[in-house]
């Protein structure tokens, strides 16, 4: 199934993949995580990628973010061919263009919330002030706390602040609410939506939770390493209206 | 400060126990390095300064007697700068409250002004009043041994005449930095004294008015020393010159040079081995530490930090640890270096000590420490950054474990699950297990290295003194005397048996090589002085010719059958051509050996003896000694027991102090290695062990899983460490040979045991510390976070 929208007059393509394939070696087992994905992502949109565990959505996200390399096929970011990029080029690509939010936050335990954001802004070209990024996720009053002193939801919001503080063009979120209860999850989703609207960042959100798809511009379903369906959401709902 | 630097600071703070223990390893290596090298440097620098400031001579000559007019002829020799002609007189000294024989050497001082050469450093008091007849300056070693003060009195028999002397000054001379009694290599500060007296007084006491019997010379820049010696010998020969010698042959300078040479070798090799081992261990430990940061490295990569920035971050982190270790090591090394140099200076009678630490030593230590740590960092970081960040952040897929050989041979049924976990962990991570064994083995080998001096010294003393010298007393005469003296000795009540010997000072020549030494001649049939080689085998004295110690043979470049030209430097001063009869290996000294019968045959003065060895009734030793002292012929009486005691008090002491510090540092390194290995293992398996606690395992049971692995590695490492220790010791022994000392290879079972015990105690300590950590595992945290 193709995730390319034919009428591209109003949309600016950021990512384009063709025949993207990824095979992993896990111990003694070979795992075909992606089996030839063709996809385009556009600036400013909020895309939700749905799929069960093991469907390949995280793998796709990692390759888009330059965290992993493809076995076959191609990925371009604007005019940059990411599949042939070396480690140095991918590092630079992530440094200036991509923000990540992970399921288990991956904060540096020895840094405060503000410092966890600063560690990224200090190497970015045109970053926000860390305090400003934390204010966007409503954590202005918890800036000097360590991760161990924050709840799961707060930690995830710090991670979002860290991801957006560099003013990235792309925000990639891998199961951002997976480790949170629904109420906290909604708070996190609201933060993501706010960021998407305010900064115009292309936001890709991976989840196995179908309900979250309601807040997306497009929903891409992935199954067994292939795109099963691409759906434009006619009527988006706000995260506050989601229930699970 | 940048956030990434805060991360570094707080990470270091979180693992401060490990930082401290790693720093101990570095401190041990660096301190050993700095202690020994700065001691050596300081002693060399002090020796140079002392010689320079106190005009230590270049050439020394003794003679029978020459008139003062000869001095001007000596001054005219091209290359001669200053000439100092003196009187040297042997004396027997009596001190109230001390019953034993004291031999003394009395040296003349100009009545007015300073001597031109070999000036005295006055510790206390003053020079003798000009032309005074009974005032002396006494050597400070002797003064210290007998607690002499300014104004103390003593009686000296010089040239058969008794004289009461008063101490007005206590001093030192660069000529007697090492104060061995003539004929011995071991100082005996209680029984041998150096005294200085006004020239006029000594002339009168020794019947040497207007004459001299000892002369020293300093050379001009670029003078030809050999030529000056030759010309000097020509001038002094008619006056009974015994052969001039250069500074290299001057006893004090020779011994201290040999000692410093050996210290130099020890001070180069031991710390190098130490630092190399410490560097290797540091490299391994840091590598494993960085590996535990793999997840964080992946996150940093995900954020866009490049490999250089990540590598630099961890190099900075490790550099903090290295700087702590370096600083601690340098300060501790300087403190101990000063202490050790002070002990040497005290023993060698330097008047002052110029302690210095060559910046090169610090730089070398810093380079090695930083280099090793950085190598460890870079290797580990490189491994981590090679992984794509996504894989780095993933939980590791469960490792492939298999049944190991213990289980395959059918013992699986006898093993419980925890034991299987231990064995499979060891066999799965073979490289890590091997590195752990090798690291701990190296630490154990360092403990053995520290014992090298003590084991070898004890063995050499045992062979050289106890076994090779089964006599109770040895007596030496002032001059070679008739063999009737032996009969007289045998008649003394309490003397069971006596055997004579003759020692003659000689210069041996072969081709262009020559060496100033002595020939010792013993009766072919004897029991009290077996000639033992370094393998404790008795060597037969040849019926003709001369037997040389192996080292002396090498110096002269002779082989068996070659003819040596031997110039006798006493009595008839006969020049003999003697065939080399063979060689023997000995630990100490460079001598030739002949049969007394053969020597008497070739020398015109027949049947002379230099001394005798005696077996006595030990209960009557004091009376026998008193009886012997009455004879004016007797120069020195020595008992074997006191020789051994003196040896341990003197020469051995410095080596043993050094050995103590090396052993201490080795033990600290051993603890550091064992603890770090275990601590990092705990970090790596934290989650697994906490999960077991969640499942209901007791603290003791999970301790068994972690610490069982540690103990197996330690117990495997101990025999490997003993092997490494043997190899390192053999290498050290081989490189420590000097002209004077050939250290034997001897490792006692105590040393092997000490290495094992040190490692075991380190492991026990680590066990106690880690057990406390295991008791605090976060069980809830395990349930919440992903693998």
Residue of A67, A104, A122 with shortest CB distance to B3? A122
- Cα nearest neighbour of A125 on chain B: B304
Residue of A27, A104, A123 with shortest CB distance to B305? A123
DSSP labels, B102-150: EEEEEEEE-SSS--SSSPPEEEEE-PPPTT-SSEEEEEHHHHHHTT--T
N- to C-terminal Cα separation, chain A = 29
Measured between beta carbons, the chain B residues lying within 8 angstroms of A92 are 304, 306
Give residue for tokens 């897929």: B397
Residue A95 contacts B, CB cutoff 8 Å:
yes
Q: Is the dihedral of CA B673, B37, B250, B133 positive or negative?
A: negative
Longest dimension (CA), chain A: 49
Complete edge-to-edge strand list for the sheet that includes strand A218-223: A98-101, A170-174, A202-207, A46-50, A218-223, A226-232
Express the helix, strand and coil content of chain A in percent, nearest 5 each.
35, 30, 40
Distance CA A40, CA A12 (A): 10
Give B278→chain A minimum CA distance, Å: 30
Tell me what pLDDT residue A5 has. 44
Question: From the candidates B390, B401, B782, which should be mutated to test the interface with A, based on the most A CB atoms within 10 A?
Answer: B390
Q: What is the pLDDT of residues B207-255, one digit of tens each?
A: 889 999 999 999 999 899 999 999 999 999 899 887 888 998 888 898 8
Token pair in block for residue A159: 């991670």
Q: Are B591 and B518 within 8 A, CB to CB?
A: yes
0.80 exceeded by pTM:
no
- Output Rg (C-alpha) for chain B, integer angstroms: 34
Q: What is the pLDDT of residues A51-61, one digit of tens each?
A: 988 889 989 99
Q: A67 and B4: CB-CB below 8 Å? A: no
Q: What percent of chain A has pLDDT over 70?
A: 95
Tell me what pLDDT residue B404 has. 60
Confidence band for B184, pLDDT divided at 50, 70 and 90: low
Q: Are A137 and A128 within 8 A, CB to CB?
A: no
Question: From the candidates B300, B301, B304, B383, which should be mutated to test the interface with A, based on the most A CB atoms within 10 A?
Answer: B304
Token pair in block for residue B230: 């030759």
Alpha helices in B394-451 (DSSP H): 405-406, 417-428, 430-450
What element of type H or E holds B705?
helix B699-735
Range scoring the smallest mean pLDDT among B27-41, B172-186, B494-508, B747-761: B172-186
The b-or-e profile of B734-760 (16+ CB within 10 A means b, else e) is: eebebbbbbbbebbeeebbebbbebbb
Number of H helices, E strands in chain A: 6, 10
Token pair in block for residue A236: 């988006």
At B60, phi and psi to the nearest 5?
-130, 135
Which residues are within 8 A (CB) of B419 and not within 5 positions of it... i.e. 6 or more apart?
B708
Q: What is the pLDDT of residues B110-156, one digit of tens each?
A: 998 899 999 999 999 999 999 898 999 999 999 999 999 999 999 98
Distance CA B58, CA B218 (A): 5
Whole-number Cα distances in Å, B714 to B325, B446, B711, B762, B777: 25, 15, 5, 10, 24
Distance CA B453, CA B733 (A): 10
Give residue for tokens 């020079």: B127
Q: Is the dihedral of CA B432, B436, B442, B443 positive or negative?
A: positive
Q: What is the pLDDT of residues A205-225, one digit of tens each?
A: 998 889 999 999 999 999 999
Give residue for tokens 């007849």: B133
Confidence band for B398, pLDDT divided at 50, 70 and 90: low
- The more confidently predicted of residues B466 and B724 is B724
Residue B4 contacts A, CB cutoff 8 Å:
yes
Distance CA B369, CA B322 (A): 7
Residue of B2, B296, B397 with shortest CB distance to A108? B296
Distance CA B697, CA B703 (A): 10
At B500, phi and psi to the nearest 5?
-90, 160
Measured between beta carbons, the chain A residues lying within 8 angstroms of B301 are 91, 94
Average pLDDT over every residue of B664-676:
83
What pairing do the DSSP bridges indicate for beta strands B563-568 and B546-549? unpaired
Q: Are A219 and A50 within 8 A, CB to CB?
A: yes
Distance CA B519, CA A47 (A): 102
Q: What percent of chain B has pLDDT over 90?
A: 25
Is the predicted pLDDT of residue B746 greater than 90, yes or no?
A: no
Q: B388 and A69: CB-CB below 8 Å? A: yes
Token pair in block for residue B122: 């006055």
Distance CA B575, CA B513 (A): 16
Is the predicted pLDDT of residue B692 greater than 80, yes or no?
A: no
Tell me what pLDDT residue A42 has. 93
For B676, other C-beta atoms within 10 Å of its C-beta total 25
Is the predicted pLDDT of residue A145 greater than 50, yes or no?
A: yes
Tell me what pLDDT residue B604 has. 81
Confidence band for B407, pLDDT divided at 50, 70 and 90: low
Q: What is the pLDDT of residues B152-170, one digit of tens each?
A: 999 988 877 888 999 999 9
Residue B304 contacts A, CB cutoff 8 Å:
yes
Q: Which of A199, A189, A178 is nearest to A241 (CA)?
A: A189
Tell me what pLDDT residue B122 has. 94
Confidence band for B410, pLDDT divided at 50, 70 and 90: low
What ipTM does the predicted assembly reach? 0.73
Q: B304 and A100: CB-CB below 8 Å? A: no
Averaged pLDDT score across all residues of chain B? 83
Average pLDDT over every residue of B76-81:
95
């Amino acid at each position: 199934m193709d995730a390319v929208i034919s009428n591209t007059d109003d949309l600016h393509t950021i990512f384009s993949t063709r025949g993207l394939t990824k095979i992993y070696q896990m111990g003694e087992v070979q795992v075909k995580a992606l089996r030839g994905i063709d996809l385009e992502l556009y600036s400013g949109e909020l895309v939700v990628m749905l799929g069960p565990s093991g469907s390949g959505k995280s793998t796709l996200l990692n390759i888009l973010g330059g965290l992993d390399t493809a076995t076959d096929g191609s990925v371009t970011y604007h005019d940059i061919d990411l599949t042939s990029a070396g480690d140095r080029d991918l590092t630079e690509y992530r440094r200036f263009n991509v923000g990540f939010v992970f399921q288990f936050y991956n904060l540096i335990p020895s840094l405060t919330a503000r410092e966890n954001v600063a560690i990224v802004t200090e190497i970015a070209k045109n970053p926000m002030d860390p305090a400003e990024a934390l204010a966007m996720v409503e954590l202005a009053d918890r800036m000097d706390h360590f991760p161990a002193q924050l709840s799961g939801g707060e930690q995830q919001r710090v991670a979002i602040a860290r991801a957006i503080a560099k003013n990235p063009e792309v925000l990639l979120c891998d199961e951002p609410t997976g480790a949170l209860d629904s109420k906290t999850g909604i708070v996190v989703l609201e933060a993501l939506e706010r960021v998407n609207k305010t900064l115009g960042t292309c936001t890709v959100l991976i989840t196995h939770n179908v309900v979250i798809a309601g807040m997306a511009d497009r929903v891409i379903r992935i199954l067994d390493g292939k795109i099963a369906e691409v759906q434009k959401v006619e009527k988006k709902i706000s995260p506050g209206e989601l229930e699970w | 400060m940048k956030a990434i630097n805060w991360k570094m600071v707080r990470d270091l703070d979180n693992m401060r126990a490990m930082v401290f223990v790693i720093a101990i390893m570095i401190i041990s290596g660096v301190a050993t390095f700095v202690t020994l090298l700065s001691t050596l440097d300081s002693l060399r620098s002090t020796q140079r300064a002392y010689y320079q400031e106190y005009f230590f001579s270049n050439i020394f000559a003794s003679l029978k007697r020459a008139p003062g007019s000869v001095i001007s002829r000596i001054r005219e020799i091209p290359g001669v700068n200053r000439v100092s002609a003196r009187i040297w007189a042997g004396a027997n000294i009596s001190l109230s409250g001390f019953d034993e024989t004291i031999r003394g050497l009395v040296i003349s001082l100009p009545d007015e002004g300073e001597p031109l050469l070999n000036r005295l450093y006055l510790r206390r008091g003053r020079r003798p009043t000009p032309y005074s007849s009974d005032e002396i300056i006494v050597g400070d070693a002797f003064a210290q041994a007998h607690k002499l003060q300014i104004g103390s009195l003593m009686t000296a028999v010089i040239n058969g005449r008794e004289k009461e002397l008063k101490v007005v000054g206590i001093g030192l001379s660069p000529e007697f930095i090492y104060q061995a009694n003539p004929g011995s290599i071991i100082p005996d500060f209680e029984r041998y004294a150096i005294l200085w007296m006004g020239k006029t007084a000594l002339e009168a006491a020794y019947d040497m008015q207007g004459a001299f019997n000892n002369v020293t010379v300093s050379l001009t820049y670029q003078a030809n020393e050999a030529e000056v010696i030759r010309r000097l010998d020509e001038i002094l020969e008619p006056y009974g010159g015994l052969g001039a010698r250069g500074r290299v042959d001057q006893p004090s300078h020779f011994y201290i040079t040999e000692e410093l040479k050996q210290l130099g070798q020890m001070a180069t090799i031991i710390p190098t081995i130490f630092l190399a081992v410490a560097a290797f261990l540091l490299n391994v430990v840091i590598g494993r530490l960085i590996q535990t940061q793999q997840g964080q490295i992946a996150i940093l990569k995900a954020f866009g930090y490049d490999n250089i920035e990540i590598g630099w971050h961890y190099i900075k982190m490790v550099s903090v640890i290295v700087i702590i270790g370096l600083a601690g090591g340098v300060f501790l090394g300087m403190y101990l270096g000063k202490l050790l140099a002070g002990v040497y200076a005290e023993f060698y009678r330097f008047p002052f000590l110029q302690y210095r630490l060559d910046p090169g030593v610090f730089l070398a230590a810093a380079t090695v420490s930083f280099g090793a740590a950085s190598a460890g960092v870079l290797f580990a970081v490189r491994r981590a950054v090679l992984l794509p960040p996504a894989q780095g952040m993933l939980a590791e897929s469960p490792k492939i474990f298999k049944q190991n050989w213990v289980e395959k041979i059918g013992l699986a049924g006898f093993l419980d699950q925890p034991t299987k976990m231990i064995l499979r962990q060891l066999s799965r991570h073979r490289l890590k297990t091997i590195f752990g064994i090798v690291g701990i083995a190296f630490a154990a080998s360092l403990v053995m290295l520290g014992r090298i001096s003590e084991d070898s010294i004890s063995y050499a003393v045992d062979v050289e003194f106890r076994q090779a010298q089964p006599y109770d007393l040895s007596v030496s005469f002032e001059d070679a005397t008739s063999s009737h003296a032996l009969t007289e000795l045998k008649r003394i009540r309490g003397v069971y048996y006596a055997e004579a010997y003759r020692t003659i000072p000689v210069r041996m020549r072969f081709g262009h090589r020559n060496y100033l030494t002595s020939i010792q001649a013993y009766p072919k049939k004897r029991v009290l002085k077996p000639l033992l080689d370094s393998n404790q085998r008795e060597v037969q004295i040849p019926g003709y010719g001369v037997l040389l110690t192996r080292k002396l043979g090498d110096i002269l470049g002779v082989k068996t059958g070659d003819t040596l030209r031997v110039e006798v430097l006493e009595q008839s001063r006969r020049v003999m051509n003697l065939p080399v009869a063979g060689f023997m290996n000995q630990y100490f000294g460079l001598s030739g050996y002949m049969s007394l019968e053969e020597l008497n045959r070739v020398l015109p003065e027949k049947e002379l003896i230099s001394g005798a060895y005696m077996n006595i009734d030990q209960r009557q030793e004091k009376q026998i000694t008193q009886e012997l002292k009455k004879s004016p012929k007797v120069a020195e009486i020595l008992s074997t027991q006191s020789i051994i005691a003196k040896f341990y008090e003197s020469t051995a002491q410095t080596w043993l102090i050094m050995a103590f510090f090396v052993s201490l540092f080795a033990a600290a390194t051993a603890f550091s290695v064992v603890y770090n290995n275990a601590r990092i293992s705990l970090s790596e398996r934290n989650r697994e062990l906490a999960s077991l606690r969640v499942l209901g395992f007791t603290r003791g049971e999970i301790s068994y899983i972690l610490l069982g692995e540690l103990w197996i590695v330690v117990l495997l490492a101990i025999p490997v460490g003993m092997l490494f220790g043997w190899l390192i010791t053999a290498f050290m022994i081989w490189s420590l040979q000097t002209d004077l000392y050939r250290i034997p290879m001897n490792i006692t079972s105590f040393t092997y045991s000490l290495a094992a015990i040190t490692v075991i105690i380190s492991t026990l300590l680590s066990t106690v510390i880690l057990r406390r950590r295991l008791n605090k595992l976060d069980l809830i945290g395990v349930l919440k976070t992903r693998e």
